Amino acid sequence: MRDNPFQQGDLDGLCGAYAIVNTIQIAIPRLFTNDLATEMMRKCLGALPAVRFPDVLFDGTDFDDLKGMAKKAFGWFNDEFFPKKDFSMDAIDIYKQGRVEKIDDLWNRFDGWVAEDGPCVSYRWNGSAF
C-alpha cells in the first residue's frame, strides 16, 4: 500500500524533459511562466522520434534524446525571446572530446566551457559515462 502521493518520476521517465524546462526557470526566472513551461515541454517531447512513444514515457530518455530535446527547446527559446542573439542557451556534449576517465578531467572541460562562454547551468544525469 502506498501512503504518499505520486510525484514526477514515480510514474514516468520524463526527468530529462523536466531538467530542460527547469534549466530555463533557474536561468531566467523573470521570463518563466506556466505557459512557457508547457511550450518548452511540447518542444522537448516533439523532438523525440515518434517510434519512441509511448515507451519513452515509462522507460525514460537516453543521452541522444536529451541532446535532441535540449537543442530543439533551447533553439526555440533563443529565437522567441532573444532574436538579437544577445543571449543563448545551448546543450554541450561533455563527452564529445571522448570518454572522461578522471573527475579532474571532467572539471577541466567544464571550466574551459565556462571561461569561454560565460555563465552556465548544469544538470547531472545518471548514466554509464564513467
Q: Is residue 122 part of a domain?
A: no
Neighbours of 56 (CB within 10 A): 20
- Total tally of structural domains belonging to the chain: 1
List, in order, residues 6 or more apart from 120 with CB less than 8 Å away: 113, 114
Q: Which three cell numbers stand for residue 2?
A: 502506498
pLDDT tens profile 14-29: 888 888 888 888 877 8
Answer whether residue 118 shows pLDDT above 60.
no
Instruction: Give the residue numbers spanning the domain of 21.
Output: 15-86
Q: Is residue 75 part of a domain?
A: yes
Q: How many H-runs (helices) and E-runs (strands) does the chain carry?
A: 5, 0
Report the distance separating Cα 64 and Cα 11, nearest Å.
22
Q: What is the DSSP letter of 102?
A: S
Answer whether residue 3 shows pLDDT above 50.
yes
Q: Is residue 119 part of a domain?
A: no
Q: Is residue 56 part of a domain?
A: yes
Q: Is residue 91 part of a domain?
A: no
pLDDT tens profile 44-92: 999 999 998 898 888 888 878 888 898 898 888 888 887 776 666 666 6
Answer whether residue 124 shows pLDDT above 70.
no
